[in-house]
Amino acid sequence: MKRKPLFLLLAAWGFLLLPLVAASGKASEKASNVLLITLDTTRADHIGVYGVRQLTPNIDRLAGRGSVFTRAFSHTPMTLPAHANIFTGHTPLYHGVADNNGYCLDKRFFTLAEQLRGQGYATAAFVSSFVLDQTFGLDQGFDLYREPLSQDTFLAAEIVPLAQDWIAGRKGEWFCWLHLWDPHFPYAPPAPFDKLYSADPYAGEIAYVDAELGKLFSFLEKSGRLASTLIIITADHGEALGEHGEFEHGFFAYNSTIHIPLIICRPGAQPRTIKTLVSHVDIFPTVCNILGSAPPPGLAGRSLLPLLNGGTEAERPVYIESKGPFLSKGWAPLEGFINGKLKYIDQPIKELYDIERDFAESKNIISSRKLSDLNRQLSELKNKMSGTETAAARLTLPAETLRRLRSFGYLAGIKVEAKAVFTRDDDLKTLLPIQNKLRSANQLFNQKKYREARELYEQVLASRPDDIGSYAHLADTLHYLRQPQVAVDILRQGLQRKPDSMELKSKLGVFLTEINRSAEAVVLLKEVLAADAADSANWNYLGVAFFRMKNFGKAYEAYEKALALDPQNAMVYANLGALFLARYVAAKDETLREKAVGAFNKAIELDAKSVAAYNGRGAARKFTGQVEAALADWQKVLELQPDFIDAYFNIAVTLIAAGRKAEANDYLQRLQTQFLQLLSVSDRAVLRRLLAAAAGQ
């Protein structure tokens, strides 16, 4: 069936199409405000002015009064590094932020927001994903940094109004950064885009974002702010969508993931299409020059103002990299450059493309150039852009942060040693099948399909037994399958491959505690902490091990050290609550129960999704006869984590004791129907006893 003409569909939805005033020939009006919009995971060819897809009528109309850069590139196909590039005017070679996992922009690096705040601008950021949480350093220079707190992401319809309200309240000059996450996988556009783009939900996400931005553009127009606002629209990176065998981003650095839209709209400027090669690091100095100020010295980028004014500038090469697979797995690092029409990718299997004739990079022409010349150009470019303080970007992330990042599909978190020499076996093209298998396993894990995920992780280890990270991921999967002993065995296998892996030793300590071998766990965790005493998570794990041994004094000391290192660690507060509650049960001292409730409340304040805190607070409330409050906490646990087995048992036991057997039976039947496969042998025995009690037997 033929698709209806798009203009009819737009009319039927009542979309907002911005009636922008035609621009004059010169930029005669001064920009007094700055709006930077970064679209996550957005391919340039899905923006109407770049391709044939008519998905973005509002962005296209805005672009009609600005400059469209057709050859703009991201330096790296990952969200955090790309935004660090934009805000510092440098690449990861200088600021060190090379991946989403384990990195933070150090405060010694000066940002665009700091520059504008120093010039008297009110500054605010509205970011839509935990991946850009202020933990990772991009809040520098912002008076307000609005991010998801009780959730992992904001929808465009949630974050755009927040930015609009803030802008509406400004009296003086302002700088607003608006980040929209929606096009990121998994693609699930809201109505009506879900139905219209059911066969292409990624396109639907972009159409949805455009519709929401249309409301913001209309507000700027109607309030008279459009005429005084410099608007920059770009993307952090693109999305592969199956090209070159990659489905998302962060693996290769082909144009599908690093060619990005860049649209700059100045008040009163003449519309232009600019074909000069540019990149993210050019945005910082360009904003400075448009506003009439000098950019900080030494930036890797250069001002695009001459191009915006219709002049010409000699092109400069653009450095590119994709380091995630190298950092998390030890696979060959990907580096390269774009220079004129040529794009060089330095991997064990070298690649060179003429992207003027072959933008899809279908024909490798590496044999047409001297490899020594290409490597020399890359080396010279890296030397120009490199800094000496990149190590400052490394960040040890707590377990909960790693879990949240993993929910977005990012698998890093295991430190690996770089090989001295990489071979064809380490090339990302060779390892693509392994990468895609891990991608599928991670998706299955996030969907709680643990048995299927386990099978894929085992397949990866069968073919790549040196893939240390997969031992950790498989162990986590076995934990959710309630097979901690098997998880211990897997981690020991990993340690046979890499005996000095502190990450695997730490995780092994956790699982030894789970199978009641806490004394062994204490020895192992002390060894880990001797190597790095500044890791809050490992002090927390040590506290749990001591707690299981009923050495409450040592457990408390470990938790206190964890909180000294990370005062915002919700899991430590939840564990402190469990410690106080256990002491209350032994001593029947009400002050201990109150301390337990206080610790659980603090954990929930820090992390509204802390199932451990809700579960523990429910128990604390039940001990004093607050049955309904306890049930409410356990029901909240199941709302947050429907497969949390202990909550079903807690609810059922409490309801049976209260004589509400039919209600108890409902929960037990739900547990048996939906999560029986997750129950251990002992769990199943408990379930049978409770079912019998609920039936009145």
**Which pair of tokens denotes residue 324?**
């995630």
Out of 104-113, 145-154, 282-291, pick the least confident: 145-154
The predicted pLDDT at position 408 comes to 62
Overall average pLDDT of the 183-207 stretch? 97
Q: At what angle do helices 611-622 and 627-640 cross, to 10 degrees?
A: 160
- Quote the CA–CA distance of 173 and 120 in Å, as a whole number: 7
Across the chain, mean pLDDT equals 91
Residue type, 104: C
The predicted pLDDT at position 533 comes to 93
| Burial environment of residue 675 by CB neighbours within 10 A (0 to 12, 13 to 18, 19 or more) | middle
pLDDT over 90 percentage in the chain: 81
pLDDT at 353 over 70: yes
Cα–Cα–Cα angle for 277, 86, 137, rounded to 5 degrees: 160
pLDDT digits (tens, 9 = 90+) for 483-538: 999 999 999 999 999 999 998 999 999 999 999 999 999 999 999 999 989 888 89
pLDDT digits (tens, 9 = 90+) for 553-567: 999 999 999 999 989
Confidence of residue 216 (pLDDT cuts 50, 70, 90): very high
CATH 3.40.720.10 fits 6-15+30-305, yes or no: yes
| Burial environment of residue 405 by CB neighbours within 10 A (0 to 12, 13 to 18, 19 or more) | buried
Overall average pLDDT of the 346-362 stretch? 98
Confidence of residue 329 (pLDDT cuts 50, 70, 90): confident
Per-residue burial over 468-487, b if 16 or more Cβ lie within 10 Å, else e, is bbbbbbbbbbbbbbbbbebb
DSSP assignment of 405-424, as one string? HHHTT-------PPPSS--G
Overall average pLDDT of the 61-87 stretch? 97
| Phi, psi (deg, nearest 5) at residue 87 | -85, -20
Residue type, 270: Q
Confidence of residue 210 (pLDDT cuts 50, 70, 90): very high
pLDDT digits (tens, 9 = 90+) for 94-139: 999 999 888 899 999 999 999 999 999 999 999 999 899 998 999 9
pLDDT at 14 over 60: no
- Quote the CA–CA distance of 85 and 105 in Å, as a whole number: 10
Confidence of residue 18 (pLDDT cuts 50, 70, 90): very low
Residue type, 123: T
Overall average pLDDT of the 12-21 stretch? 39
Q: Is 670 left (phi over 0), alpha (psi -120 to 50) or beta?
A: alpha
The predicted pLDDT at position 599 comes to 97
Cα–Cα–Cα angle for 10, 265, 92, rounded to 5 degrees: 105
The predicted pLDDT at position 535 comes to 87
pLDDT digits (tens, 9 = 90+) for 222-250: 999 999 999 999 999 999 999 999 999 99
pLDDT digits (tens, 9 = 90+) for 376-419: 999 999 999 998 877 777 666 666 666 666 566 665 545 666 78
The predicted pLDDT at position 8 comes to 27
pLDDT at 334 over 50: yes
Residue ranges of domains in the chain:
6-15+30-305, 642-697
Overall average pLDDT of the 16-42 stretch? 67
What are the residue ranges of helices labelled H in 368-467?
371-385, 399-407, 428-446, 450-463
- Quote the CA–CA distance of 152 and 93 in Å, as a whole number: 29
Overall average pLDDT of the 10-15 stretch? 33
Which residues pair with residue 263 across a beta bridge?
68, 233
Q: pTM here?
A: 0.83
Which letter does DSSP use for residue 392 in this model? G
pLDDT at 27 over 60: no
